[in-house]
Amino acid sequence: MVMTTADEFLSQKERFQLGDLPTECPHPKTSGLCDWAKRDVAFGLDVLREVDLDALRRVLGFRQSLYGFFHAVASALERGDRIFLVGCGATGRLSLSLEYLWRRKFPASLQVASLMAGGDVALVHSLEGFEDFPEYGARHLRQLGFGANDLLIASTEGGETPYVIGAVEAAAEMSRASPQFLYCNPRQILLDRVERSRRILTDPRIRSYCLDTGPMALTGSTRMQASTVLMLVIGLALEFGRDVEGAFTALERWIEYLAAQDVAPLAPFVVSEAGAYLENRHTIYSSDDYAITVFTDTTERAPTFNLAPFDNPEHPTGRHSLTYLTIPGAATASESWRHLLARDPRPLEWPAIHPKTTKDYLLSFDFSRRALDFRCRILGPPQVFHIGTAGGQLWLSFRGVEQHFGLPGSPLLDHLTLKLLLNMHSTLLMGRLGRFEGNLMTWVYPSNGKLVDRAARYTQMLLHQRGQDDFTYDEIVRAQFLCKAELSPQDSIVHKTIEKLTGGLAS
């Protein structure tokens, strides 16, 4: 299932060499991001906020092109048809988050359902290689009972994710409703460069919408601006239906609100949480109202920065996650999952393909109030980061630091506001820990074809900066696969690959 050797990857490398896509390119405003994280956190926060605002202002320019999308969503809801949301990684998590918001608003409604590569357990950690297989997306959609009247909304930051494309092509065969395909790179680049994207974009049965965000604040980290824009647009369509003007008025007001928001009060939290890890302490986030958004940010740190994924009480390993989540309002593992998703979990149950797709494995993760005792038992008393609401405001508290932030007042925009704040916080936090260089994700974990290519490209960029241009792409990939076999949480795959290629001269 997974590409385990360099030869396997290199035999199909053209499918994954996507460095010329804007979402994969370094952002010109954030070249000093790592230095700001260490020396001027407040300035780094301001720059990240400005990059977010740039991406959101670009959405305003898509108003006319999105009328068809809003009307397709409204028509499905008016007919009582079901809407399925599909994504991979960050877009999978935003799909689950949108279903959560729908179910919190309409507890009795089954009209909105979500699926992500690997099933619900992938909310905790990715299942290696799943997103590279279009047939898995199609199979997952059928398993959930997708039918002739159902509408599929697919989101993929790059516009090329095989799993999502497989689900879209299956939906085009199965339903009378045209699948809706949202992506964040210019249409022409995808038409010219990526055959699987070209199939989708030229298929008359499929409606596609470009939400070109430009580069990410941290190179290739589409958990940031791209996933924000996709969640925003899909969420607004679910909330406003045919009222496109109302949706964009709400967006304009939110942009004004964010532009006036002071993000400097986040700086002490960045410094304090980084300090906890530098002291070899561990943390746990505690949240009821915002568990899904807190969960998303904390779990997405692992693949982005080669951190250990969340510990599993029933499957201990020698690696421990820096942080965890506890939901005080949940008493058991099952309750914690229902609180997190606003529904019972939907594992894939494909043990022949991957043993971690089962319900038993999923429920072995416990995010209830008992998680605090679990963390204490294996690592000693954790530092608790509280996130909730107080007096209609967002409330953050950690190690004696407490701050309140205003909220827009709509569930969708409230969760997105917290998402932006947590993305800024966790990115600069990891910069203080040295988990990226400049604005390159040098610690990214190469768990699928796209990430293998990212790590190879970042290796190539740093070698070029050091005047070492003698290594070919293929040589870099072969060295990377050798390094991955011995990679630890204390290693950067990029720096380790450079050391192997240059005989130890990584800096």
Q: Please say which residue of 432, 451, 468 terminates a domain.
A: 432
Q: Are residues 206 and 102 in the same domain?
A: yes
What domain range includes position 417?
A: 263-432
Q: Please say which residue of 432, 449, 466 terminates a domain.
A: 432
Query: In the prediction, which pLDDT does 507 show?
Result: 47
Residue 319 resides in a domain: yes
> What is the C-alpha to C-alpha distance for residues 55 and 87, in angstroms, rounded to an integer?
20
Query: Where do the DSSP E strands lie in 139-290?
Result: 151-156, 180-183, 207-210, 283-286
Please give the positions annotated as active site: 99, 131
Residue 128 resides in a domain: yes
| Tens digit of each residue's pLDDT (9 = 90 or more) over 455-486 | 999 999 999 999 999 999 999 999 999 999 98
Q: Are residues 315 and 428 in the same domain?
A: yes
Q: Are residues 135 and 278 in the same domain?
A: no
DSSP 156-200: ESSS--HHHHHHHHHHHHH-SSPPEEEESS-HHHHHHH-HHHHHH
Query: In the prediction, which pLDDT does 2 show?
Result: 58
Q: What is the pTM of this model?
A: 0.95
Structure tokens of 422? 């947590």
Residue 328 resides in a domain: yes
Query: In the prediction, which pLDDT does 127 show?
Result: 85
Total domains present in the chain: 3
| Tens digit of each residue's pLDDT (9 = 90 or more) over 257-299 | 999 999 999 999 999 999 999 999 999 999 999 999 999 999 9
Residue 200 resides in a domain: yes
| Tens digit of each residue's pLDDT (9 = 90 or more) over 321-377 | 999 999 999 999 999 999 999 999 999 999 999 999 999 999 999 999 999 999 999
Decide: 153 and 112 in contact? Cβ < 8 Å. no
Q: Are residues 387 and 450 in the same domain?
A: no
| Tens digit of each residue's pLDDT (9 = 90 or more) over 34-68 | 999 999 999 999 999 999 999 999 999 999 999 99
At residue 424, φ and ψ (nearest 5 deg) are -60, -50
| Tens digit of each residue's pLDDT (9 = 90 or more) over 414-451 | 999 999 999 999 999 999 999 999 999 999 989 888 88
| Tens digit of each residue's pLDDT (9 = 90 or more) over 83-103 | 999 999 999 999 999 999 999
Q: Are residues 180 and 270 in the same domain?
A: no
Residue 156: which CATH number? 3.40.50.10490
Q: Are residues 91 and 195 in the same domain?
A: yes
Q: Are residues 117 and 191 in the same domain?
A: yes
Query: In the prediction, which pLDDT does 1 show?
Result: 44
CB atoms within 10 A of CB 135: 11
Q: Are residues 305 and 280 in the same domain?
A: yes
Tell me the pLDDT of the chain averaged across its residues: 95
Q: Please say which residue of 432, 456, 475 terminates a domain.
A: 432
Q: Are residues 420 and 477 in the same domain?
A: no
Residue 142 resides in a domain: yes
Using left for φ > 0, alpha for ψ between -120 and 50, and beta otherwise, residue 428 falls in alpha
In degrees, rounded to 5, the angle at the alpha carbon of residue 488 between the alpha carbons of residues 163 and 425 is 70
Using only C-alpha atoms, what is the Rg of the chain? 21
Q: Kind and range of the H or E element at 362?
A: helix 359-363
Q: Closest Cα partner for 273 from 374, 489, 422?
A: 422
Mean pLDDT of the region 311-318: 91
Residue 287 resides in a domain: yes
Residue 136 resides in a domain: yes
Residue with tokens 């949301």: 85
Q: Are residues 324 and 454 in the same domain?
A: no
Residue 284 burial (C-beta neighbours within 10 Å; 0-12, 13-18, 19+): buried
Q: Are residues 414 and 453 in the same domain?
A: no
Mean pLDDT of the region 26-35: 97
Residue 22 resides in a domain: yes
Q: Are residues 107 and 196 in the same domain?
A: yes
Structure tokens of 358? 């089962």
